Amino acid sequence: MVDDDTVLQRVELAPESLEHYADVAGRDVVDELLELGRSLRGARVAHVNATSYGGGVSELLRSLLPLYRGLGIDAEWLVIPGNDEFFRVTKMLHNALQGADDGPGDTDRELYLEHSAALARAFVDGFDFVIAHDPQPAALRQLRGRDGARWIWRCHIDTSEPNPRALEFLTPYIGAHDALVFTLERFVPAALRDHRVAVIPPGIDPLSPKNLALPANVSRGLVRWSGVHLDRPLVVQVSRFDPWKDPLGVIDAYRRIREEVPGTQLALLGQMALDDPEGWEMYRLILEEAHGDPDIEVLTNFTGIGNVEVNAFQSTADLVLQKSIREGFGLVVSESLWKGTAVVAGRAGGIPLQMPEGIGGYLVDSIDETVARSVALLHDPRLAQELGAAGRARVRERMLITRMLRDELRLLLSLG
């Protein structure tokens, strides 16, 4: 009998035609994708991750899978089921790979491997390529052994300074893949440098409900309805409630910004990912910190914040903050820049790739700098607009999902 706890869930998505992207991404980009698609037509591809909802990976897969299918590639999105214990361990591994002190103990290792072995047994045969995302499905390839598929491990996190115990534990499993993909060259751990590695940053989907152009009156109406006063400045951070995104530091910085620019409001938009047990505790701490402050809105998917609302907030904000301490990529940065909104962001992981010096806003290393740069931009809306426009141009050129898809298909073909 198959245990329900190990049956991978298929996420059903309709194909999307690449033709729709020609205007925004360029005819040449679409033509190259069609060409790559012809070479891979009929190939069976599985993307495997741990949640269909919440966080950047599910955001990417939600947009990528329909495009694969639009190209005639037989692609599926499979979600591995877990339980509280498994997701506790995988979140700990995630944090540890980003440098947290707490590494896996014996019980954690056993739990992880036991559930991974059950998932490996339940995994379906017949794929030409399997792309496993992040630590949750990282052991499947090794535990399944050779099954006729080429396996790729796609790392979305900042592994530049990993906890040695976590890395040492995962290296044999990660290393069993035919290729590894990282967002930046410097994320590749020394122990894995001899493997076949591709560097592919993610990208945003310009046609998704989160990123398509909304009429200004619609954006403003949605933001106003959420409790924001449109006649006063608005600063926004959109992220999972996660310590690496430093939401408490954002509140701290915001209170100091408000002293200099009176009337400024803060909206913290957060999402509870299904595989992120830490989110609830962080949410509680944020509510405690913001309690009684009428100018701080804490909004979540449980109070009606979906993709369109995120779009509206990113479009309407005078300034977006992304005060990350560690960040694999940070899709939210490109999402905001795409709307022409200036960003003040932590100089972490993949963020500088999206907004190098002078483009999109300012990179900061401390709360003091966050405050100073934010105040400067709130005082000078024209500068904020210029930086935002430069950011949008860079996203169009380098951070769209069509570029990511191209890089990924080239990799599959090279492994063929």
Distance CA 37, CA 271 (A): 34
Please tell me whether residue 374 adopts helix, strand or coil conformation: helix
Dihedral class, residue 134 (left if φ above 0, else alpha if ψ from -120 to 50, else beta): left
- Minimum CB separation of residue 320 from ligand UDP in Å reads 11
Best CA proximity match to 133, nearest among 151, 113, 160, 114: 151
Which residues of the shown chain bind ligand UDP in the complex (CB under 6 A)? Answer: 55-56, 59, 210, 238-240, 269-271, 305, 307, 310, 329-332, 335
| Burial environment of residue 147 by CB neighbours within 10 A (0 to 12, 13 to 18, 19 or more) | middle
- Closer CB to ligand UDP, 140 or 331, in the complex: 331
Inter-residue contact 318 to 233 (CB < 8 Å): yes
- Minimum CB separation of residue 134 from ligand UDP in Å reads 9
- Minimum CB separation of residue 307 from ligand UDP in Å reads 6
Best CA proximity match to 341, nearest among 359, 360, 365, 322: 360
- Minimum CB separation of residue 309 from ligand UDP in Å reads 8
Inter-residue contact 100 to 158 (CB < 8 Å): no
- Closer CB to ligand UDP, 72 or 243, in the complex: 243
- Closer CB to ligand UDP, 191 or 308, in the complex: 308
- Minimum CB separation of residue 2 from ligand UDP in Å reads 30
- Closer CB to ligand UDP, 118 or 266, in the complex: 266
CB atoms within 10 A of CB 186: 12
Distance CA 77, CA 186 (A): 28
Best CA proximity match to 233, nearest among 318, 323, 340: 318
- Minimum CB separation of residue 216 from ligand UDP in Å reads 20
CB atoms within 10 A of CB 286: 20
Q: If you compute the radius of gyration of the chain from its CA atoms, what whole number of angstroms results?
A: 21
- Closer CB to ligand UDP, 51 or 370, in the complex: 51
- Closer CB to ligand UDP, 312 or 378, in the complex: 312
- Closer CB to ligand UDP, 330 or 388, in the complex: 330
Find the Cα–Cα–Cα–Cα dihedral 82, 83, 85, 89, rounded to 10°. 20
Best CA proximity match to 351, nearest among 324, 391, 316, 387: 324
- Closer CB to ligand UDP, 55 or 104, in the complex: 55
- Minimum CB separation of residue 306 from ligand UDP in Å reads 7
Distance CA 356, CA 400 (A): 17
Here the tokens at position 167 are 């890395």
- Minimum CB separation of residue 60 from ligand UDP in Å reads 8
- Closer CB to ligand UDP, 250 or 331, in the complex: 331
Inter-residue contact 233 to 264 (CB < 8 Å): yes
Residue number of the CB closest to ligand UDP reads 56
Q: Which strand (E) or helix (H) includes residue 93? A: helix 84-97
- Minimum CB separation of residue 244 from ligand UDP in Å reads 8
- Closer CB to ligand UDP, 128 or 309, in the complex: 309
The percent helix, strand, coil of the chain (3-state, each to 5) is 50, 15, 35
Here the tokens at position 229 are 């006063």
- Minimum CB separation of residue 322 from ligand UDP in Å reads 8
Distance CA 182, CA 369 (A): 29
